[in-house]
Structures are given as C-alpha cells and as structure tokens.
Amino acid sequence: MPQANCVLQWRVRRESLLEVIDALPPCRSGIEACAGAFFWQRRFEALGHEVKIIAPQYVKPFVKRQKNDRNDAEAICTALRQPNMRFVPKKAIEQQDIQLLHRARRRLVNHRTALVSQMRGILLDRGFGFAKSIGRARRMIPQIVADRTTTWPSSAARCSEVFLPFFTRSTLASTSSISA
C-alpha cells in the first residue's frame, strides 16, 4: 500500500463539507462508524472518493490524547493505514430501510410486552391472574376491565379506560404484522 499523506488538516463545518471534499482530487477517506456514516460514504463516493468505514472499537486504540474532533480524525487516519484493518461493509439505503423496520418492530414488541406485564401486575394486585401470553392478555384484560361487577377505585377505572385500546386485537396484533 502506498504511503498515505494528510490532504486536509483544518476545521470544516458540516454545511461546507461536500464543497471541500468535491474540490479535492479523488482519494481514500476513512470515517468512524456512527449514525450518519453510510450517508456520508454514499455522498463522498458519488464525488469519486474511496471511503472506508471503521468501527469505533478499532479506532479507539489509536486515540492519543483526550477525545476531540482533531484527535479522533488523527486516530481514524492511523487506523485506516493499518494493513490488517477490518472495515464495516457498505450498506445501501434499502438495507438501512429494512434495518429500520426491524428495529421499529422490535421496539413495538418490547413496549407491548412491558405494557402487558405491567397490566398483569396491576391485575394481580387486585386478585386477577392469568397466564403469560399475548393471546391470553388479549382475551382476559378487556374482560376483566369491562366486568361491571368488579369494584375499581376511580383512578384505576380511568387508567383502565385509557389502556384498554392497547389490548384490543388490532393493536396487539399490529406489531406482528410488520415485516420486511
């Protein structure tokens, strides 16, 4: 691999970054993996540059002093020069969209599970128990809350009215219908 040279060593603001990169001759650049790394990789490659994304755990050993942008950039350059460095594979926008759907679904399922567990605990405190399953919660919670023979404190009754829509079949089933 040819000796790498530092091409740019001054502060560049995000608003003018593409103009500065466009003015450079095509070169190899390194970016530390972060939330916007794949966006910038696509933009820089569209300008003719080769871009490598490096996972933060591979950059960290090369940071010499306190963490700031200049020291991070120097560490990324040093990591980029390593002959056995592993790089993060490129991701197309479509791949990121699929990943977004999976993460959103996982969050919805986690929230649903937490809500059902909380409601089970509230109902257990009042003497109502049922098995740990979404299907059972879907059937039992609306029945228990709708039962007019049950005496609820007014605050619990208001809460149950607010949360009841979350236990209808359509709401609980909606997280299982999201797929990529």
Confidence check: pLDDT of 166 > 90: no
Mean pLDDT lowest for which of 72-86, 91-105, 131-145? 131-145
pLDDT tens string 140-151: 877 777 776 666
The whole-model pTM stands at 0.66
- Please report which residue ranges of the chain form alpha helices under DSSP H: 14-23, 37-46, 56-59, 69-80, 93-125, 134-146, 154-163, 169-177
- Cβ pair 102, 179 in contact under 8 A: no
- Cα–Cα distance, 151 to 160 (Å, whole number): 12
**Which among 87, 92, 81 has a CA at the least distance from the CA of 54?**
87
pLDDT tens string 94-117: 999 999 999 999 998 898 888 888
- Cβ pair 140, 109 in contact under 8 A: no
pLDDT value for 1: 47
CA 156 to mean position of chain CA atoms: 34
User: How crowded is residue 22: how many other Cβ atoms within 10 Å of its Cβ?
Assistant: 13
Q: What are phi and psi of 68, to 5 degrees?
A: -155, 175
